[in-house]
Amino acid sequence: MSDEFEALTRLVAAGGVVVLSGAGLSTESGIPDYRGPSGAARRHTPMTYQAFTRDPVARRRYWARSHLGWHTIARAAPNDGHRAVARLQRAGLLDGIITQNVDGLHTAAGATGVIELHGRLDEVTCLDCGNATGRDELHRRLSEANPGFDAVAAHVNPDGDVDLPDEAVTGFRAVDCGVCGTGMLKPDVVFFGETVPAPRVADCFALVERARALLVLGSSLTVMSGRRFVLRAAKHGIPVGIVNQGVTRGDGYATLRLDAPLGATLTALTAALTEPVPAAR
């Protein structure tokens, strides 16, 4: 057992921990991340809110690519890391879970009260009438509107988008809201250029400020959306632990840093903290 793992065990054993998770936690579920080992070879430009709402061609391109990507996201199941986080929560060691992921896998693994910072990909909202529907229903409608769409996705990204050449999406038909009939549909996730709802951010800050420790799992902390919570914890003198494969932009604020696979590490952690010790004979 390494010194770093022993330090991680001590950090979590004391309880009062808030988890901040990123895409690296979901790679073992088959969803590649952006910047870690599974995503390092790809260059992906995420959809911006401005392009999605103002450019019909960009919007059509997004829905064509996301339609294909949904096959992977919908099939993804919680992995050992998600299950370990849920077990730590049930054991009373976690005071909260904040995730930057949009895959819903924390909840699927049994965690409760998860703050999904960037929303969920399995929910769709009409920007005109506000009606909310499930992604499976939209997937059915898109399939019916595009019966001959058979493009093959090269890579799926954490936001459900895929890499496709522009010519592969020519002729793809997006659909409007099924309730008001004309409204623009958007996945209920925060695009680049769009702000996270202020009350949601305030809830996260309050959770972090009450925490005894902040534990970052599978995030490079490249964007400020997640890194700000590390900065807030450091400002308040709250210990920060980081478990991630590869460097992060929060390493300078970490009181402990472990570069290791998430699933195996968190499984070992929960075993050390929640399984009863055999009685001596």
CB atoms within 10 A of CB 204: 22
| 245 is annotated as contributing to ligand binding | yes
| 246 is annotated as contributing to ligand binding | yes
| 21 is annotated as contributing to ligand binding | no
| 66 is annotated as contributing to ligand binding | no
Strand, helix or coil at 256?
Answer: strand
| 218 is annotated as contributing to ligand binding | yes
Strand, helix or coil at 243?
Answer: strand
Q: How long, in residues, is the chain?
A: 281
| 180 is annotated as contributing to ligand binding | yes
| 244 is annotated as contributing to ligand binding | yes
Secondary structure of 115-165 as H, E, C letters: EECCEEEEEEEECCCCCEEEHHHHHHHHHHHCCCCCCCCCCECCCCCECCC
| 204 is annotated as contributing to ligand binding | no
Q: To the nearest 5 percent, what fractions of the chain are helix, strand and coil?
A: 40, 15, 45
| 146 is annotated as contributing to ligand binding | no
Q: How far apart are CA 17 and CA 15, in angstroms?
A: 5
Kindly give the pairing relationship between strand 115-116 and strand 94-99.
parallel
List all residues 6 or more positions away from 264 whose beta carbon is below 8 Å from its beta carbon: 80
Contact criterion met (CB below 8 Å) for 245 and 259:
yes
Please identify which residue in the block is written with the tokens 């904040």: 98
Q: How far apart are CA 9 and CA 110, in angstroms?
A: 22
CB atoms within 10 A of CB 59: 18
Q: What amino acid positions are annotated as catalytic residues?
A: 118
Q: How far apart are CA 124 and CA 190, in angstroms?
A: 12
Q: Report the candidate in 161, 153, 156 with the shortest Cα–Cα distance to residue 189.
A: 161
List all residues 6 or more positions away from 104 whose beta carbon is below 8 Å from its beta carbon: 116, 120, 121, 122
User: What residue numbers does the annotated binding site for NAD(+) cover?
Assistant: 100-103, 218-220, 244-246, 262
User: What residue numbers does the annotated binding site for Zn(2+) cover?
Assistant: 126, 129, 177, 180
User: What residue numbers does the annotated binding site cover?
Assistant: 100-103, 126, 129, 177, 180, 218-220, 244-246, 262
